[in-house]
């Protein structure tokens, strides 16, 4: 009988901001698929969301408020990590400590920043070595626009890894198969938005465009808005308002929704687009949404309109509403198929690939 020595655990330290459930999905894939042990320091003060992560097998969370520079350095040294993942340049303590681990392990940062060629970004490109490359060996990005950002600030292709952001397939992965028979019987004429009720999300634009299309066509389509925020929405017979919903709640309720719309004026990526394509919903989104590049094929599983353009959004809504239920079902299937290009497992594989890079 051939005896194989078990692999030593790969230790990964996350120095993170606010942890979200989809972030933990990637950590779980690292543990499950690669035998990693993940220790995550996360922001526990001045949070924008109520979510609090809980420890589980292979993943331990630590409050950022419990560390200073000396204790964080000692914490990392005790774990002797193969990889340190740092959530951008937003935390000076994180930046100070990882400088002390350069050359001792792989140090990765991630960003959803889109390259837009602004003056500020050109300055970042000019001083990319001081702002980024002196801290981080690798740049982890979700899509093409972010890849361009990383490349323009000085990271060569072999130092850029993909598939940073992903929906949690454990929550959304089975939704399409579970509900497609119900939707085949009667496809829901209901457009859903889920997110903050903020001007940056374009929710005011969506409500105005939907109301105008509804008044002109007098069809049976409804609009469901999920979340809360500073933009106030007037209740109407064809508009439903729902409180913030967890991923599991969203997944369970998708049987009632036919289309997902994200009309953002600013949206570097938008994991929610992946969540709803995974659930099999056709998508309408603005061209500001980074995830639209990979997950929305014009006319096939949705429509992309010019950000901030109400008339363009109205056209997209009219195009969707003119579809037959058979056509909407076909678009639904195409969304589901497109969603397979990304998953927590693919994200974990991408991160682990840097350990094969002999350049360190």
Q: Report DSSP state, residue 105.
A: B
Per-domain residue ranges of the chain? 10-166+343-356, 169-339
Average pLDDT over residues 239-245: 91
- Spatial neighbors of 220 by CB under 8 A, at least 6 apart, are 189
* Cα 175 from chain centre: 18
| pLDDT bucket at 2, cuts 50 / 70 / 90 | very low
For the stretch 256-271, what's the b/e string if a residue is b when 16 or more beta carbons lie within 10 angstroms of its beta carbon?
Answer: ebbbbbbbbeebbbbb
Return the ∠ at Cα 243 (arms to 237 and 311), rounded to 5°: 55
Q: pLDDT, tens digit, for every residue of 11-56?
A: 999 999 999 999 999 999 999 999 999 999 999 998 877 889 999 9
Q: What is the pTM of this model?
A: 0.92
For the stretch 275-298, what's the b/e string if a residue is b when 16 or more beta carbons lie within 10 angstroms of its beta carbon?
Answer: bbbbbbbbbbbbbbbbbbbbbbbe
Structure token pair of residue 169? 């397939």
Mapping DSSP onto H, E and C, the string for 237-255 reads CCEEEECCCCHHHHHHHHH
Task: Please report the pLDDT score of residue 167 as a whole number.
Answer: 97
Pick one of 1.20.210.10, 3.20.20.140, 3.40.50.2000, 3.40.50.150 as the CATH number of 10-166+343-356: 3.40.50.2000
Residue range 169-339, CATH number: 3.40.50.2000
Asked whether the beta carbons of 195 and 227 are under 8 A apart, the reply is: yes
User: Is-same-fold flag (10-166+343-356; 169-339)?
Assistant: yes
3-state secondary structure of 20: coil
Q: When comparing pLDDT for 359 and 291, which is higher?
A: 291
């Amino acid at each position: 009988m051939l005896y194989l020595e078990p692999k030593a655990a790969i230790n990964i330290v996350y120095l993170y901001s606010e942890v979200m459930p989809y972030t933990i999905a990637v950590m779980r894939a690292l543990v499950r698929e690669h035998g990693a042990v993940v220790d995550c320091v996360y922001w526990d003060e001045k949070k924008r969301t109520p979510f609090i992560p809980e420890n589980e097998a292979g993943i331990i969370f630590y409050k950022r408020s419990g560390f200073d520079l000396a204790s964080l350095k000692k914490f990392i040294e005790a774990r002797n990590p193969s990889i340190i993942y740092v959530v951008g340049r937003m935390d000076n303590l994180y930046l100070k400590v990882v400088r002390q681990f350069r050359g001792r392990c792989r140090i990765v940062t991630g960003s959803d920043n889109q390259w837009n060629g602004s003056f500020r970004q050109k300055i970042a490109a000019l001083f990319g070595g001081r702002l980024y490359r002196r801290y981080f060996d690798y740049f982890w990005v979700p899509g093409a626009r972010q890849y361009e950002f990383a490349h323009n600030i000085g990271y060569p292709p072999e130092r850029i890894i993909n598939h940073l952001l992903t929906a949690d397939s454990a929550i959304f992965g089975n939704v399409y198969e579970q509900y497609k028979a119900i939707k085949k019987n009667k496809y829901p004429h209901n457009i859903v938005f889920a997110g903050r009720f903020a001007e940056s999300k374009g929710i005011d634009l969506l409500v105005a465009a939907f109301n105008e299309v509804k008044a002109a066509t007098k069809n049976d389509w409804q609009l469901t808005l999920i979340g809360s925020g500073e933009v106030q929405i007037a209740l109407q017979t064809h508009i439903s308002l729902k409180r913030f919903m967890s991923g599991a709640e969203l997944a369970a309720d998708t049987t009632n929704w036919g289309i997902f719309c994200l009309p953002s004026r600013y949206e570097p990526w938008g994991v929610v687009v992946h969540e709803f394509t995974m659930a099999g919903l056709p998508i309408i989104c603005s061209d500001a949404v980074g995830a639209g590049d990979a997950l929305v094929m014009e006319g096939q599983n949705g429509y992309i309109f010019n950000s901030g353009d109400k008339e363009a959004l109205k056209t997209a809504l009219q195009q969707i509403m003119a579809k037959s239920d058979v056509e909407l079902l076909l678009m639904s299937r195409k969304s589901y198929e497109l969603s397979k290009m990304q998953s927590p497992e693919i994200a974990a594989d991408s991160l682990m690939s840097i350990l094969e890079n002999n350049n360190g």
